[in-house]
Structure 1
């Protein structure tokens, strides 16, 4: 009498794939945010994607509906700020991935919207916390003539004899006031509609904008965006991330109290680096959610579409291709979570390592989105399926918060410097 052969059971998988060790609390948060992403973010994101920019962010639009519903979840800087670093890194990774799975543009709006409050809380200034609480924020970190080079931290990276890029957004410290002039780039997330801003600008403290080595002085200032002298450009019409309102902000002799500065001459470089490390981490996690969304659409379509008399998913070539993009999704997630953990838990996090995470995750994301669309064939190019939107969103991620090649160069500089100065990597 023969015995029945026992087959290897299928592995347990979570919403996010081959995850393990998630606590009950983490699984609960993941499920809540996933439902919000599925039921609120995806429908609103698709609706916003098809609206002209001049209509998409008007009062009562789906954009504001998203933020109204989001507030009910109780997620934000204050919730994360009370957690130990390791737990905060894990929950941040779960939260941002699920939101980006719903809509990457709206996920960026959420992250950028909390930047002023996050930095105000870090400063411990209750007046600034109250100023930012309950308001949609933005981060004024780039300018028309100062983009990816904003993240160039060391004078050795500049061409010999050149000075740091001053840009055209400048702050002059006058007694108890700061006078701000110039404009941001058109790529400020939430810039077209934000109520409060974290302004990162070159600063003159009374002896010019440069030190003896040609480095610029800087400052970070919390600025309410209803002050006299502030105006906006039109929301940007763009290829991808269309649910995210981006646009320039103009400053014409805008005066704010000096006490609104949360970083000045002595600590600006450190806090500037911290802000960029946070942004790069968020972008890595957003890439994870967006890659997973594209992969899952392709996986579902492969089980719906017949070719050659059988479902696409039964063909070995399709399985090979699904395996390839599935591996990349897991690699993106692993890198993003590693970056998140390092940034939250290291005694000395560094934005150039975070830059490596952003560049890697977003580059691999592009491959996932492109290959996922390819599995749809011709219908993938139509608006009948949302995969073409995800490809456009993925393309925006290659440049947003630092162009990938520039960021990879910064990481290479960091590795070389660690080798030369600290002997890291030597046998």
Structure 2
């Protein structure tokens, strides 16, 4: 039998690091959670964005939340201050896309978690704005990248008045056997060297009321009638003749994200604006669903961390029964479960983004898992946080009730969680065994 090791002997040729611990050990985590130490570039990036989140996004988001939807997009609105200061930060897609996959994935997660930490609605607006340029880059379309640089305010239009999350299922894999998609609300008719657009996109187009450029997903008609299963994707300016917009949408949460309808009446665009034709449409839906859902996971993890930090600070300041409420067992219990859920969501979303940036073919089921986990978790954490605030949490004096409303909207946008779960389950199936 081997001799018992002396106390402090690690068996690795040196003394134990335990001897350097305090007598009463208590680790303190950084603002980015349970994560191996960030390198110098990552740490500066995270700190810069956290400062921006706290000093710019959060106060502007709270001001926008109290405004009418029309005031949010007015010329003198704080929304435009946010846009200017966001661009002044100098965070560019080209910079991120030039990094090696692992580094790029870490930087994407830092960026979107910190934007979410500041304000969920503004973070979604910022993310949607980049999609026309980002998807053009992923498809390697240099013309569209140059025509619409990332500073251009963009939007993503896919859902329609009669077609919500089912627009994310063009192959009909989730449809009831007796179900039919029905006539699409927006159709792109290909005619010689032109595309003619007619129809309407729903009021849920993020940035729809203010965007300069749109990445548009719609049914295509190449001569045999509109076919939603073989649609097309266009990247087009929104100042063309025949394009109009609906009224800004008044809504429950994410009021800093300006949403509204888009209308197309005999809008003609050259074929140069086609990012993906009918033969590439399934790839294009898979691509944007993979990218958007993964970054939704990071964003709403950041939102939840913001809610947790507010509750954590309040629990140390608010006194009840003669002590800070954090000393009460139930409060500490709730904070711990909020903490562990956030860290589990962060681990999943960061792992998914890392996997998808490194893989030859990203996994849409992984992105869906990250989105559903983070959005549901953020709502649960925000609800628990509001409970710790008690009656104060229901007032406008504290931002927690706004965060709860923002989180509720996240479980519907970019595909409702219920429909996405069905789609994710379908992608888990092994078709070779069916």
TM-superposed CA distance for 1:166, in Å, is 4.6
> 2:129 & 2:162 partners in 1: Cα distance?
24
TM-score, with length taken from structure 2: 0.91
Q: Which residue of 2 aligns with 1:91?
A: 107
The 5-angstrom pairing of residues 9-20 of structure 1 reads 9-20=25-36
1:169 aligns to 2:186 (yes or no) = yes
The 5-angstrom pairing of residues 369-408 of structure 1 reads 369-408=382-421
Deviations 1:107-154 (A, max 9, x none): 111110011111222343333223211310001111111111122254
Choose which of 345, 358, 368 in structure 2 pairs with 1:355: 368
TM-superposed CA distance for 1:261, in Å, is 0.3
Q: Which residue of 2 aligns with 1:63?
A: 79
TM-superposed CA distance for 1:8, in Å, is 4.1
Tell me, what secondary structure is at the counterpart of 1:185? strand
Pair 223,421 (structure 1): closer, same or farther in 2 beyond 3 Å: same
Deviations 1:14-61 (A, max 9, x none): 212222232111111000111111111111111111111111111231
> 1:376 & 1:186 partners in 2: Cα distance?
34
> 2:418 & 2:90 partners in 1: Cα distance?
37
Structure 2: give runs of 5+ residues left out of the alignment.
1-20
> 2:60 & 2:85 partners in 1: Cα distance?
11
1:229 aligns to 2:245 (yes or no) = no
> 2:22 & 2:28 partners in 1: Cα distance?
18
Choose which of 256, 271, 283 in structure 1 pairs with 2:269: 256
Q: Which residue of 2 aligns with 1:21?
A: 37
Choose which of 178, 200, 203 in structure 2 pairs with 1:183: 200
Tell me, what secondary structure is at the counterpart of 2:204? coil
Contact 1:355 1:407 in 2 (8 A): yes
Q: Number of residue pairs matched?
A: 413
Deviations 1:204-235 (A, max 9, x none): 1122334xxxx621111011000000000111
Deviations 1:253-291 (A, max 9, x none): 100001110100211111221011111012111111110
Superposed CA RMSD in Å reads 1.7
Higher Cα radius of gyration: 2
> 1:177 & 1:77 partners in 2: Cα distance?
30
Tell me, what secondary structure is at the counterpart of 1:271? helix
Tell me, what secondary structure is at the counterpart of 1:7? coil
Structure 1: give runs of 5+ residues left out of the alignment.
none
TM-score, with length taken from structure 1: 0.93
Choose which of 195, 201, 205 in structure 1 pairs with 2:218: 201
Q: Which residue of 1 aligns with 2:380?
A: 367
> 2:282 & 2:183 partners in 1: Cα distance?
14
> 2:225 & 2:103 partners in 1: Cα distance?
43
> 2:317 & 2:155 partners in 1: Cα distance?
42
Structure 1 range deviating more: 90-99 or 120-129: 120-129
Choose which of 231, 234, 244 in structure 2 pairs with 1:218: 231
> 1:209 & 1:343 partners in 2: Cα distance?
32
Contact 1:373 1:388 in 2 (8 A): yes
> 2:182 & 2:348 partners in 1: Cα distance?
31
Contact 1:209 1:216 in 2 (8 A): no
1:142 aligns to 2:176 (yes or no) = no
Contact 2:378 2:407 in 1 (8 A): yes
TM-superposed CA distance for 1:164, in Å, is 4.3
Deviations 1:64-105 (A, max 9, x none): 111111111111322222122211111000011011100111
Structure 1 range deviating more: 59-68 or 347-356: 347-356
TM-superposed CA distance for 1:392, in Å, is 0.6
Choose which of 132, 136, 146 in structure 1 pairs with 2:148: 132
